[in-house]
Each structure stands twice: as structure tokens, then as C-alpha cells.
């Protein structure tokens, strides 16, 4: 009977599987000092990212996960967001210098997803990749192909 249940679970699509809950501290390799020095200003009076090449945890590459955080929209319409950065605290990448690259996840939703309120934390579920991403406002250590967004 157990083998039948295991066979059924293995044949389920990824979206039907239970995601692994991942928290921001999980995305930092053991022994890496994530504490950064005082923020720097560049000549355009904007704050620079302090650790744009922070190492990632390769064990999460290809894993189906669920991560809490705040949305920094990058692409989409008034109703649907197709691309955003997921960050560990409100205002990251906008009002304060971006956190270390291993503390930012670049998220894409092929068809877009409704984000109700940017002030509220959300859970984002999808397949995580350790392939980085470079944008205008930050270097990112992780990418996530989104499957769902839910209130935190």
C-alpha cells in the first residue's frame, strides 16, 4: 500500500506537491558573514548594493519552495504583475540599499499574478534557481518561477 502512495505522489505535477518552506536565513551559506558595512553613496546620490555577489545555497537549486517576503514590482500592468523582486523587509531596493544578493529573489509569473498590497508580506511559491539575475536596482542571487502568491 505504501508503494502505491509513493507512486501516486511521484506522478503528481510539481504544483500538487507540498513546497518546502524556506526562510531568508536558509538562503545564506553557513559561515558567510551577511552583516554589511555602512551604506555607501554614489555620485548620483543613490545607495549602492553592498554585497552584489554574495554566495548562494546550491542545495535549493531546482527545489519547489515557499518563501515569505515583500514585493518590489518590476514588470506588469495595474492588475497583474509578471516580474518582481522578493525581499526580506519592506522598502528594500527602494528606500534603503538593496540587501546582499543572496537575500533577493527575482520572481517571474508567465501570465502575471495579482498583488493586492505592496505593504503586506506574502508567501511566494514556485521553483527556485540559483542562477543569478542582474537588474538596474540590484544584483540577485536567486530566481523563482512563480506558481502562486498568498498572504503571509
**DSSP three-state, residue 110:** strand
Give the integer Cα–Cα distance in Å for 80 and 98. Answer: 24
pTM of the model: 0.82
Per the CB < 8 A criterion, the answer to whether 109 and 74 are in contact is no
CB-based contacts of 152, cutoff 8 Å, min separation 6? 68, 120, 121, 122, 123
Give the integer Cα–Cα distance in Å for 64 and 10. Answer: 14
pLDDT tens string for the chain (152 positions)? 444 334 344 444 544 689 999 999 999 999 887 665 545 555 554 568 889 999 999 999 999 999 999 999 999 999 999 999 999 999 888 778 899 999 999 999 999 999 989 999 999 999 999 999 999 889 999 999 999 999 99
- Give me the pLDDT at residue 1, please: 47
Per the CB < 8 A criterion, the answer to whether 69 and 86 are in contact is yes
pLDDT digits (tens, 9 = 90+) for 128-150: 999 999 998 899 999 999 999 99
Amino acid at each position: 500500500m505504501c508503494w502505491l502512495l509513493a507512486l501516486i505522489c511521484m506522478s503528481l505535477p510539481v504544483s500538487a506537491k507540498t513546497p518546502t518552506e524556506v526562510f531568508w536565513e536558509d538562503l545564506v551559506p553557513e559561515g558567510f558573514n551577511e552583516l554589511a558595512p555602512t551604506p555607501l553613496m554614489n555620485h548620483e546620490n543613490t545607495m549602492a548594493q553592498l554585497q552584489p555577489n554574495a554566495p548562494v545555497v546550491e542545495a535549493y537549486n531546482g527545489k519547489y519552495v515557499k518563501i515569505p517576503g515583500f514585493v518590489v514590482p518590476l514588470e506588469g500592468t495595474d492588475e497583474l504583475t509578471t516580474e518582481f523582486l522578493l525581499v526580506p523587509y519592506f522598502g528594500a531596493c527602494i528606500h534603503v540599499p538593496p540587501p546582499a544578493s543572496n537575500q533577493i529573489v527575482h520572481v517571474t509569473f508567465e501570465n502575471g499574478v495579482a498583488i493586492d498590497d505592496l505593504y503586506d508580506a506574502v508567501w511566494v511559491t514556485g521553483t527556485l534557481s540559483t542562477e543569478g539575475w542582474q537588474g538596474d536596482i540590484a544584483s540577485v542571487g536567486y530566481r523563482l518561477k512563480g506558481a502562486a502568491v498568498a498572504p503571509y
